[in-house]
Structure 1
Amino acid sequence: MNRRRERLVGGEYAEFNEYPWVVALLLKGHYYCGGTLISDRYVLTAGHCVRGVNVKSLKVMVGEHMRSFPIETRSKAYQAVHYVVHPNFNHSNFESDIALVKLSDKVPYKWYARPACLPLPKRDYVGQLGLVAGWGRTTEKGEPSDLLKEILVPIFSNAGCRQLRYSDHEISDNMMCAGFTKGGTDSCHGDSGGPLMIRGKDKKVTVIGLVSWGEGCGRQGFPGVYTRVEKFLPWIEENTRDSCYCGSRTGRGL
């Protein structure tokens, strides 16, 4: 299977600063992956986005919306000073595809730059509509989007996902699937590491997944596959103790 490693097809443009926690990862000044601000010093992203990357070449754009005109959105580039990839990350099957990036300075929370919340353990999101936001390709062979885009995708149970065109062993319990069985709407190249989110009744947004991999972009029978954030909460907390989270010091945020 030709799995996309960079991983929005379909969807709409997001409102200005609608997702102030969605960040852009820049490698030598070029956008290549997404991420989520989860505290005043840390960004959550996919392991395959940063493993093997020279941290001195890695910057994070916070408060980004239009990539070609960053001054309009008050975005700021933060130098990455350290990153940690989950020790169980496997590049061949994208198991435990999660990483944390530490920023050079604390991010002052503003209306255009603030963190998303982490999920509570053992919450069931099956059947709900998840939100994905990013600057990835708008078609499988197209160019990255200049403006931040958003899509709504239904969340599958893992059992339901395994009954589609993925084989049983490809979808582990540390992953989750979201998308349409008919295809057409999906995360795509350049969206990797970005968030799969749920908006609660209180309007608070929780990041429950990270764009990880899939077969092409928006292909029938192949929904996007995401890292299941809830499975990694202890690891996240252990590696981000020197920062403040959304709503609480525990990182639960709800």
Structure 2
Amino acid sequence: MHNKGFERTFWPCKTPVLLNRRLAPDRQTNFKVMLALFLLLFLICPHLQCRRLTTEENELNSIKCGVHFLGQPVQGNRLVKKSYGGREFEENEYPWTAVLLKNGQAYCSGVQISPRHILTAAHCVLAFDEIERMELCRMNQSQSIVSYMDMPENILVAIGGEKVNCNSFPCQYNKNLYRAKKITTKEMSMCDLKEDLALIELSQNILENDSTAICMPKDDLQPDRVLYASGIGIDPSSPITFENQNGEQAHGQQVVALRYHAVDQLLHQIETVTFAKGTCSGDSGGPLFQVNEEGRHILVGINSSKVRNCKQHNENMINYFTDVRANLDWICKYSGVCPLEEELW
């Protein structure tokens, strides 16, 4: 059966006339090549709505990635960070750490990987009943879990160097706000959170004066013994999460050092351990990263934990992160943030 709707989806109105013409062999070859490229682009970006990075943009993104402080060059050596326990961001620190907002409230974190792409956790952009999910998973009925994706226009992304002031509620998000345009998720397993990864494309590019991207890893990158996680997490069991540098109780974005524990090759998850403190509710979707010898910050994982009490005294805490190294092809396909044959830094 001839599907006219299918034809309208793929072709402009004059295309059938072009197909009926007799073309010279060389022009037929060129036409077939162009047609193949068009179909490939359509498969990668349905309805031609997504804006993958060009090759030039991808190379430039790689050159400028991974700074510690916005507006400062990459340092020539490893930067000393505070150890386990966590601390509040300094001004202009980790500018690529994003905050996701819905209805004016922060609810998840994310990380900038290009001028217009934010990587986060799939469960941050999917709506479902958490109690029902846990019950159905307990009964091994994951196929019965109902979820739907949030509309992109409902999500704002706060990003940039300015600190988030949460010492009074509601939090004051002085960072630059960008609206989501398109959301792409992996097929997340609702029970073990395998493939808990989502890509948010923004409606406009992030200005370099606002933020630049974190660096992407190679697929064979070995995790450091000490890794770092950042986000907007606030422990529901305590209105105050960490202390600032003056020993005063503080809210807002924090970074915490984590000890690398293991990689689950089946679930594509990185496991870390912390003593007494870990990532909190709201850190979901935030980056797990390490720093190379050149001082560049390299993305390793995306926070997939949903810890309710992130401050358990005298207990080791396990945190779970989706392994970005295992998802580089997917990220490249939908964002254009792709590994380079030879690193430019």
Per the TM superposition, whether the score is higher than 0.5 is yes
Q: TM-score category by the smaller chain?
A: 0.7 to 0.9
The residue type paired with residue 255 of structure 2 is E
Deviation per residue, 1:96-143 (Å, 9 max, x gap): 101000101001212x511001111122215x2111111111x45123
Shift of 1:178: 1.2
The residue type paired with residue 271 of structure 2 is C
Q: Does 1:185 align with 2:283?
A: no
Unaligned runs of at least 5 residues, structure 2: 1-83, 127-148, 166-170, 242-250
Partners in 1 of 2:105 and 2:257 — Cα distance?
27
Of 174, 178, 183, which residue of structure 2 is paired with 1:83? Answer: 183
Q: Does 1:234 align with 2:329?
A: yes
**Residue 152 (structure 1) aligns with:** 257
**Residue 224 (structure 1) aligns with:** 319
Q: Which has the larger radius of gyration?
A: 2
**Is the partner of 1:210 in helix, strand or coil?**
strand
Q: Provide closer, same or farther for how the CA distance between residues 100 and 131 of structure 1 changes in structure 2, counting only shifts above 3 A.
A: same
**Is the partner of 2:335 in helix, strand or coil?**
coil
Q: Provide closer, same or farther for how the CA distance between residues 61 and 251 of structure 1 changes in structure 2, counting only shifts above 3 A.
A: farther
**Is the partner of 1:107 in helix, strand or coil?**
coil
The residue type paired with residue 43 of structure 1 is I
Of 147, 152, 155, which residue of structure 2 is paired with 1:58? Answer: 155
Shift of 1:25: 0.2
Shift of 1:35: 0.2
Q: Provide closer, same or farther for how the CA distance between residues 94 and 250 of structure 1 changes in structure 2, counting only shifts above 3 A.
A: farther
Identity of aligned residues (%): 24
Partners in 2 of 1:31 and 1:104 — Cα distance?
19
**Residue 121 (structure 2) aligns with:** 46
Q: How many residues are aligned here?
A: 222
Contact 1:40 1:108 in 2 (8 A): yes
Give TM-score, length-normalised by structure 1. 0.79
Shift of 1:76: 1.1
**Residue 202 (structure 1) aligns with:** 294
Q: Provide closer, same or farther for how the CA distance between residues 55 and 252 of structure 1 changes in structure 2, counting only shifts above 3 A.
A: farther
Of 187, 190, 194, which residue of structure 2 is paired with 1:95? Answer: 194
The residue type paired with residue 215 of structure 2 is C
Shift of 1:83: 0.5
**Residue 123 (structure 1) aligns with:** 221
The residue type paired with residue 179 of structure 1 is V
Of 141, 160, 175, which residue of structure 1 is paired with 2:269? Answer: 175
**Residue 65 (structure 2) aligns with:** none
Alignment of 1:102-117 (within 5 A): 102-110=201-209, 112-117=210-215
**Is the partner of 1:105 in helix, strand or coil?**
coil
Deviation per residue, 1:15-64 (Å, 9 max, x gap): 11210100100012110000000001100000100122122211101115
Give TM-score, length-normalised by structure 2. 0.59
- Ranges of 4+ aligned residues in structure 1 off by more than 2 Å: 67-71, 142-147, 214-222, 248-254
Partners in 1 of 2:158 and 2:342 — Cα distance?
22
The residue type paired with residue 79 of structure 1 is R
Partners in 2 of 1:82 and 1:250 — Cα distance?
28
Higher relative contact order (CA 8 A, sep 6+): 1
Deviation per residue, 1:190-243 (Å, 9 max, x gap): 1000001101110100110111025552553441011100000000000012xx
Structure with the higher fraction of residues in helix conformation: 2
Partners in 1 of 2:319 and 2:102 — Cα distance?
24
Of 237, 249, 254, which residue of structure 2 is paired with 1:141? Answer: 237
Unaligned runs of at least 5 residues, structure 1: 1-8, 160-170
The residue type paired with residue 182 of structure 2 is H
**Residue 32 (structure 2) aligns with:** none
Of 3, 27, 31, which residue of structure 1 is paired with 2:106? Answer: 31
**Is the partner of 2:276 in helix, strand or coil?**
coil
The residue type paired with residue 285 of structure 2 is G
The residue type paired with residue 105 of structure 1 is Q
**Is the partner of 2:304 in helix, strand or coil?**
strand
